[in-house]
Each structure stands twice: as C-alpha cells, then as structure tokens.
Structure 1
C-alpha cells in the first residue's frame, strides 16, 4: 500500500476521468486503459523534450499497486529518467483522486501505478533522429 503522505514525482502531464466504458467485468478500470493514458502523457512530455515526433518503443517495470474505480480522477505525472542521442526514458506515475474525496473517511490521493516508458525521436519519414541539446 502507498503511503498517503507521499507526493507524486515529476510534473502533472495529464488529468482525466475514469468512465464506465473503461471498466472491466469486476467494475475496476482496465489496466490497459491506464497504460494508454500513461503513454499519452509520456508522449506529450517526450515531444516537448525532443522538439518533435516520438514513438514508444518500450515499457519497463510496470507495477499496478491498487485498482482504479469508475469516477476517479486519474492524474499522470512524469519526469525524464535518462536521455540518449535518439531516445529517452521517462518515469511515469498515475495517482488518483477518488470521486468522493471530500467526504469524511474517503480514500486519499494515492499512487496506483508506475512504469518507465522509452521513446525514440523520429523525423517526418519515421526514421530515428537525434534529440536536440539545449
């Protein structure tokens, strides 16, 4: 279980609402839906860092800590872990705020998953390109 006093790592990249269409037969949100939100969030950060298009090439160390419920506010945070000449690795975390978070006894803001996503910078032809340096 995650310590509720812990704070997210990195910047807030994406915030969305878990909807009924995103649930599995247990009523929890599909892990694949959460992973796709992480990829969208990571792609936004990767494009900012690389100043252009990127593709996802790997997802490492995916850990699901606790389920996400329909109606939870899903927040994706991220930061760069390492950068190479053409690729970069981002550490991404998903935290949720329960839909009834202001009610007494409700679940706190908590981390539900994390992973390292690797992106490669590409040009307009889909060919690997160098990442510009500041």
Structure 2
C-alpha cells in the first residue's frame, strides 16, 4: 500500500467535488460513522471526477489503497477532494482525500484513498477514454 501522503499545509490542495455533513443514521453504536459509509462517499466523489474525464459512464474497478486517519462524528462537515494521478487507454487512477471542517478549530484530513475507474459504454463494456492525457 502506498504511504499516507503527509501534506505540508493543513488544508486541501484543490477544490471540493462533494461536501456532506455526517448524519445520525450512518453511525455505529459508538456514534462514529461506518467506514463503509465513508468509502461509499469517496467512491462517489472519485466517480464524479472520472466521469468528467471519461465524458460518460465509469465503473469502479479497484480501491488500491485506503487510510483512515481519525473517526467521523455526527455533524462533522466533510469535503471530498480529488486528483487525477494517472490515466491509461480506458482507466483513470484518482486520489480522493476527505477533509474535516469543524465549526471551531483547524481543518484536518480524515482519510484518503486511491481509486481506479474504467470508462464503460452503454452495455457495460470497457471503452477508451475520449482523450488520454499524458500520465501525471
């Protein structure tokens, strides 16, 4: 698994593609958000970026790494930030970071993961990306 990316600044490096507030219905008995709930939201955020790049449907094919840094509590405001790491002929690898924005206090990273998506056609078959930019 790639190492956790320690950021030099305590804030996201790019714009949010999704913002959510943690709700009571998504918690475990201790009052923390289920990890699976957070992964689902990260997958949605990554797919928004992948879909824009693919100019159409995409499917998640892998979660290459995932690091949970702290728990999420009910009421926490989270922003989901994405960065395209690499593209192939039909696939794209995207880093997804989730940041906590407390009412009082400092913004901090909650979790990060690397997701791989593939462009698909109307029948669910792999298709090429419309324009495959150079890998970053």
Question: Could you tell me the TM-score, scaled by structure 2's length?
Answer: 0.87
Using the TM superposition, give the Cα deviation of residue 5 of structure 1 relative to its aligned residue in structure 2, in angstroms: 4.2
Q: Provide closer, same or farther for how the CA distance between residues 122 and 3 of structure 1 changes in structure 2, counting only shifts above 3 A.
A: closer
1:132 is matched with: 130
- Cα offsets for 1:52-78 (capped at 9, x unmatched): 100000002200000111000111000
2:121 is matched with: 123
1:114 is matched with: 112
2:10 is matched with: 6
How many matched pairs? 127
- Give the whole-Å Cα distance in 2 for the aligned partners of 1:59 and 1:80: 14
- Give the whole-Å Cα distance in 1 for the aligned partners of 2:45 and 2:84: 12
Moved over 6 A (4+): none
Does residue 21 (structure 1) correspond to residue 21 (structure 2)? The answer is no
SS of the equivalent of 2:98 reads strand
Structure 2 unaligned spans of 5+: 1-5
Structure 1 unaligned spans of 5+: none
- Give the whole-Å Cα distance in 2 for the aligned partners of 1:119 and 1:89: 6
CA-based RMSD: 1.7
SS of the equivalent of 1:114 reads strand
Question: Could you tell me the TM-score, scaled by structure 1's length?
Answer: 0.89
- Give the whole-Å Cα distance in 2 for the aligned partners of 1:3 and 1:65: 13
